[in-house]
Amino acid sequence: MNYTLDFLPVIDGLPSLLAACLGTLGLALGGMILAIIIGVGGVMLRDSGIRQVRWFVIAFVELIRNTPFLVQIYFIYFALPLAGIRLDPTPTAIIALGINGGAYAIEIIRGGVQSIGKGQIEAGLALGLHKAQVFRLIVLKPALRAIYPSLTSQFILLTLTTSVASAIAAYELTSVAQRIESDSFRSFEVYGAVTLFYLVMSWLLMRVFGLIQSRYLSYPVK
How far apart are the C-alpha atoms of 137 and 92, rounded to whole Å? 34
Residue-wise pLDDT for 123-178, tens only, equals: 877 888 887 777 777 777 777 888 888 989 999 999 999 999 999 989 999 999 99
- Classify residue 32: in a domain, yes or no: yes
Residue 166 forms part of a structural domain: yes
pTM: 0.88
Identify the pLDDT of residue 21.
Answer: 96
Structural domain that includes position 124: 8-217
Q: What is the mean pLDDT of residues 91-107?
A: 95
60 located within any domain: yes
Q: What is the mean pLDDT of residues 49-73?
A: 93
CATH number at residue 199: 1.10.3720.10
Q: Are 74 and 96 in contact (CB under 8 A)?
A: no
CA distance 189 to 62: 39
Spatial separation of the C-alpha atoms in residues 137 and 135, rounded to whole Å: 6
135 in any annotated domain: yes
The Cα diameter of the chain in Å comes to: 77
Confidence at residue 141, expressed as pLDDT on a 0 to 100 scale: 72
Residue 1 covered by a domain: no
Cα separation, 139 vs 136, in Å, equals 6
Is residue 195 assigned to a domain?
yes
134 compared with 89, residue with greater pLDDT: 89
Number of structural domains in the chain: 1
Residue 220 burial (C-beta neighbours within 10 Å; 0-12, 13-18, 19+): exposed
